[in-house]
Structure 1
C-alpha cells in the first residue's frame, strides 16, 4: 500500500539542506507557468545546491497533461508518488502508478497525462531546473 499525497506532505515531513530545514507541508503549491491543471511544489532549488539539482513535487489534476516538451539542458527523474496516468518517453508509452520511476535524458521529448484520480510525481532535475 502506498502513502497518499496528503500523508507524504503532512506536518513533520522535512527537507534538510546545509542551509537548514523546511517543512514540506508548508511550502506553497504554484501553478505551472505553461501547463493548465498542473501545480508545482519546489522542495529543493538551484539556490540550495549551487545549481547541481532541483527537486519538485508535480501535481496534475485528473486528465491534465504536461504536453510534449523537452529539457535541452537537464536530465530528469520521475518517481510516481500518488495517482496514475501515462507517460510518453521517446517512442515508449509507460503506465505511471506508485512505485514507477522513469529516467529522461536531456534532449529527449516526453509528456505525461494524469488518469481519472490525478497524478503526483517527485521530479528531480540534473542540473537544477530552477
Structure 2
C-alpha cells in the first residue's frame, strides 16, 4: 500500500492523550467485515474514550462501496481526505471530492461509493462505534 500526502500523515500520526501517546503507524489496517474492498485503521478507539468517541481512517477501493446502512445511536462525521466519490445521505446523492464533510445523524441511511480512484475518509463517531 502506498499513501501520499494527507493520507500518509494520518496513517503515521501520533495520537496524544493526557496520559499516553499512540503511534498510528503501529495500528494495523483491517478488512471491514461486511463490505468488500473496504478497510479501516483505528486512530481513536472507544476503549480509550469510555465509549464516547472513536475515529478511523476508512479506505474504499476503486469500484467498491460502504453499502446502504445506518447507525442506531451514533452520529457520524466523515471527512473526505483523499479521492472522490458519491455519498448517498438519506434521499440526497452528492458527488464529492477531498475537502467535503458529511454529518449523518443516528438512524439515517447512507452509502459511500468510490468510483474512479481509491477513496479515503476520516470517520468520527459519537458515541464510539
Please confirm whether the aligned pair reaches a TM-score higher than 0.5, indicating the same fold: yes
1:23-34 equivalences in 2 (<5 Å): 23-34=23-34
1:26-105 equivalences in 2 (<5 Å): 26-105=26-105
Please, which of 1, 5, 8 is the counterpart of residue 6 of structure 1? Answer: 8
Q: Distance in 2 between matches of 1:22 and 1:89?
A: 33
Q: Distance in 1 between matches of 2:119 and 2:42?
A: 17
Q: Distance in 2 between matches of 1:94 and 1:58?
A: 18
Gaps of 5+ in 2: none
SS state at 2:48 partner: helix
TM-score by length of 2: 0.91
Following TM superposition, by how much is the alpha carbon of 1:98 offset from its aligned partner in structure 2, in angstroms? 0.9
* Bigger strand share: 1
Runs of 4+ in 1 over 6 A off after TM superposition: none
Gaps of 5+ in 1: none
CA RMSD of aligned residues (A): 1.5
Structure 1 residues 84-130: Cα deviation after superposition (integer angstroms, max 9, x where no partner): 1111000111222111000000000000001211100000001000x
